[in-house]
Amino acid sequence: MRVLVALSGGVDSSVAAAEVLRAGHEVVGVTLRLWGGASDSGCCSVSDVEDARRAAGQLGIEHHVFNYSDEFDAAVVVPYVDAHAAGRTPNPCIECNRHLKFDALLRRAEVLGFDALATGHHARVVDDAGVHRVARGADPAKDQSYVLYTQTDDQLRRVLFPIGHLTKAQVRAEATALGLRTADKAESQDVCFITRADGRAAFLSERIELHPAVVTDVEGREVGRTDAVELVTIGQRKGLALSGATDRRFVVDVDVPGRTVTVGGVDDLLCDGVELGSVVWNGAPVSGGVTAQTSAHGEPVGATVEASVMGRTVLRWSEPRRRVAPGQSVVVYRGDLVLGGGIVAE
C-alpha cells in the first residue's frame, strides 16, 4: 500500500511514519506549509519544516512540501479573526483538520495515487458495525479524538493513525530507539500562527479594531473595564481587573456590539444544556443518551441529544454545567467512539 504521511516536524508524526514503514508499506512524507507569517511554534515555523525533512532523511523516505497557505488563510485564519470580532471563541485546530489535513490533503493524496493518508494524531480508527469512526487514543492525557470529530466514514476508510495505540512515553521511546532527532522535541502550542512573543491581542489588533468595554455584574452595576471586548470569552476569570466583591467572578456574557462584558458567580455560569450548529454526524443522526466533551482534554459528561430543529441540535446535560463559549465545539461520544459534534451557537 502507498501511504502519504503528514510530517509536522514533531516526534508523533515522525514515529507515525516509522510505524507505517515497519508495517511494510511504501511511504512518502509531506509537510504542509500553512502559515506565511511569523511563527515560533506549532507546525508552521521554518525549523519545523527542517525537522520534518531531517526525520524523513533518517527514515530513508522521500519528502515533499505542499503549499496550502492560501487555503489555510481562507479556512482557518480569516474565520478565527471573524469569530473574535463577533465575540465567539473559535477552535482553529478543528478547522485545520476539517478543511486542510483531512480534506485538501486527503483529496490530493488520492489524486497522486496514494491508498491512504497517515498522521501522528493520538487517536484510532475503529470499524463500528461497518461505520469507520474515530476512537480515543491509548494515552488519555494526549488523546486528540476531540479535534477529529468532523471526519466521516468515507474519509476514515483512507486514514491511518499509526501511533493511536501508543502512549506519549512509548512514542518518545520509539523515537529514541530509532535515533530520530525529534525524540526529545517539545510539544507545540495549539494556535500555530500566533507567536509566543506577541500573543493573541497583537495578532488580532493587526486585523480588526479592538474595542474597550464596560464590565458589569449580573445586576448591571459597573465593576470594571476591559481594553478589548473581542478578547474576552465566556467562563474567563482572570485578566479583567475587577473591583468590589472578593468572591470569584466569571464572564457570563460578552456583548461586542454593546461593548459590555457581564460577570457573575459560578452559579450564574450554570446551564441545563447547549445548542449546537454546524452539526456533523458520522452516520445516522444521534439521539438519546451519550457522553459529551466540551474541550480537547475535558472530562466526558453525561448528556441527552434532543431532536434537531432547523439544522441545530440541543444537548441536555445530565446535571447543570458551566456554559460553553459560543464558537467552541462539543463532541459526542459513545464510550470511546466519536459519533459527531457541533459548534456552540450564540
Domains of the chain with bracketed CATH: 2-120+162-178 (3.40.50.620), 210-264 (2.30.30.280), 269-344 (2.40.30.10)
Residue 196 — pLDDT band, cuts 50, 70, 90? confident
pLDDT of amino acid 320: 96
As a whole number, the mean pLDDT across the chain is: 93
Report whether pLDDT(61) > 70.
Answer: yes
Please tell me the distance from the alpha carbon of residue 146 to that of residue 13, in angstroms, as a whole number.
18
Asked whether 261 and 214 are in contact (CB, 8 A), the reply is: yes
For 131-183, the pLDDT digits (tens) are 999 999 999 999 999 999 999 999 999 999 999 999 999 999 999 999 999 99
Percentage of the chain lying above the pLDDT 70 cut: 95
pLDDT of amino acid 74: 97
> Stretch 231-257: mean pLDDT, rounded?
87
pLDDT of amino acid 198: 80
> Stretch 210-229: mean pLDDT, rounded?
94
pLDDT of amino acid 248: 86
pLDDT of amino acid 189: 63
Report whether pLDDT(42) > 60.
Answer: no
pTM of the model: 0.93
CA 92, distance to chain mean position in Å, is 6
pLDDT of amino acid 346: 76
93 is catalytic: no
In which element (H, E) is residue 96 found? helix 92-96
Beta-carbon-side half-sphere exposure of residue 328 (alpha carbons within 13 Å): 18
Please tell me the distance from the alpha carbon of residue 61 to that of residue 57, in angstroms, as a whole number.
6
Report whether pLDDT(192) > 80.
Answer: yes
Question: Of 219, 180, 150, 214, which Cα lies nearest the Cα of 19?
Answer: 180
For 96-143, the pLDDT digits (tens) are 999 999 999 999 999 999 999 999 999 999 999 999 999 999 999 999
pLDDT of amino acid 48: 87
Which residues make beta-bridge pairs with 60?
A: none
Report whether pLDDT(40) > 70.
Answer: no
pLDDT of amino acid 244: 64
Residue 230 — pLDDT band, cuts 50, 70, 90? very high
pLDDT of amino acid 190: 64
Alpha helices in 234-321 (DSSP H): 266-269
pLDDT of amino acid 191: 83
> Stretch 62-79: mean pLDDT, rounded?
96
pLDDT of amino acid 245: 62
Residue 246 — pLDDT band, cuts 50, 70, 90? low
> Stretch 229-256: mean pLDDT, rounded?
87
pLDDT of amino acid 3: 98
Report whether pLDDT(185) > 90.
Answer: no
Q: Which cell numbers hold the place of 207?
A: 486585523
The catalytic position among 43, 44, 93, 96 is: 96
SS3 126: strand
Please tell me the distance from the alpha carbon of residue 177 to that of residue 2, in angstroms, as a whole number.
25
The catalytic position among 43, 93, 192, 271 is: 192
> Stretch 74-102: mean pLDDT, rounded?
96
